[in-house]
A and B are shown apart, each in its own frame.
Chain A
Amino acid sequence: MSSPRATDTRGLVADLFRRESGRLIALLANRAGVARIDMVEDAVQDALVSAMRNWSINAVPKNPSAWLYTAARNALTDKLRRARFEIPEEFTHEPAAEVEYSFSSESAFDDELLRLIAFCCHPSLTAASQLALTLRLACGLSVEEIAHALLTTSQSIMQRIVRAKRELRDAEVTFDIAPRELVQERLPRILNAIYLLFDAGYLSPRHPQWFRPLLCDDALRMVRMLAAHPLTAEPETHALAALLHLTAARSPARVDDEGHPVPLARQDRSRWDQAAINAGMDYFSRSIRGESLTRYHIEAAIATVHASATSMETTDWAQIVRHYDQLCESFPSPVATLNRVIALRYARRAQEALRALRASDELHAVQDTLAYHATMAELHEALEEHDLAAAAFGAAADLAESDTLAELFRRRAQALRK
Chain B
Amino acid sequence: MASGRYAVRYYSKESAMAEYLVLLHEDPATTRKLSPSQMQALIQRYSEWVGGLRADGFVGIGKKLTDDGGRHLHSEKGKMVVSDGPYAEGKDIVSGLFVVNADSYEQAQARLASGPHLEFGWIELRQIDVIPQSD
Interface of A toward B, CB cutoff 8 Å: 1-3, 5-6, 8-10, 12, 15-18, 20-21, 45-46, 48-58, 60, 140-142, 144-145
Chain B, 14-42, CB within 8 A of any chain A CB: 28, 31-40, 42
Smallest Cβ distance from B86 to chain A, in angstroms? 16
CA A20 – CA B36 in complex, angstroms? 9
**Residues of chain A lying within 8 A (CB to CB) of residue B34:** 49, 52, 142
Nearest-CB residue, chain B, relative to A42: B32
- B44, A3: Cβ atoms closer than 8 Å: no
Taking CB atoms, residues of chain B closer than 8 Å to A2 are 48, 51, 55
The reply to whether A57 and B54 contact each other, CB–CB distance below 8 Å, is no
Least Cβ distance of B7 to chain A in Å? 12
Interface assignment of B11: CB less than 8 Å from any CB of chain A: no
Q: Which secondary structure characterizes the binding site on chain B?
A: helix
B62 within 8 Å of A (CB atoms): yes
In the complex, the 7 A-B pairs of residues with the closest C-beta atoms, listed nearest first = A142-B35, A3-B51, A56-B46, A17-B36, A17-B40, A6-B51, A57-B64
A3/B32 in contact, CB under 8 A: no
What residues on B are CB-neighbors of A6 within 8 Å?
Answer: 47-48, 51
Distance, CA A27 to CA B26, complexed state (A): 30
B62 touching A49, Cβ below 8 Å: no
B28 to chain A, nearest CB (A): 8
Q: Are A53 and B96 in contact (CB under 8 A)?
A: yes
In terms of DSSP, what is the predominant structure of the interface of chain A? helix
Q: Which residues of A contact B92 (CB under 8 A)?
A: none
Neighbouring A residues of B62 by C-beta, 8 Å: 57
Assess whether A52 is in contact with B43, with CB atoms less than 8 Å apart: yes
Q: Are B35 and A1 in contact (CB under 8 A)?
A: no
B47 to chain A, nearest CB (A): 4
CB distance from B10 to the nearest CB of A (A): 16
B127–chain A nearest beta-carbon distance, Å? 22
Check if A54 sits within 8 Å of B48, measured CB to CB.
no
| Bound-complex Cα distance A49 to B39 (A) | 7
Instruction: Report the nearest A residue to B98, measured CB to CB.
Output: A57
B125 within 8 A of A: no
Interface string of B36-79 (1 = CB under 8 A from A): 11111011101110111011000000111001000000000000
Q: What are 11 A-B residue pairs whose CB atoms fall within 8 Å in the complex?
A: A1-B1, A2-B55, A3-B52, A3-B55, A12-B40, A12-B44, A17-B37, A53-B95, A56-B96, A57-B62, A57-B64
Task: Give which listed residue, A10, A57, A141, A145, contacts B44 with CB less than 8 A.
Answer: A10
In the complex the two chains form, what is the Cα distance from A53 to B34 in whole Å?
Answer: 12
A144 touches B51 (CB 8 A): no
On chain A, the residues within 8 Å of B28 by CB distance are: 49
Verify A5–B51 contact, CB threshold 8 A.
Answer: yes
Give chain A residues whose Cβ lies under 8 Å from the Cβ of B36.
17-18, 20-21, 48, 140, 142
Partner of A50, one of B35, B37, B67: B67
Closest to A78 in B: B68
Query: Counting CB contacts under 8 A, is B3 at the interface?
Result: yes
How many Å lie between the Cα of A24 and that of B89 in the bound state?
25
User: Contact: A52 with B42, CB < 8 Å?
Assistant: yes
Most interface-central of A15, A58, A60 (chain B CB within 10 A): A58
B54 nearest CB neighbor, chain A only: A3
- A3-B54, A12-B44 as given contacts; A53 in contact with B67, CB under 8 Å: yes
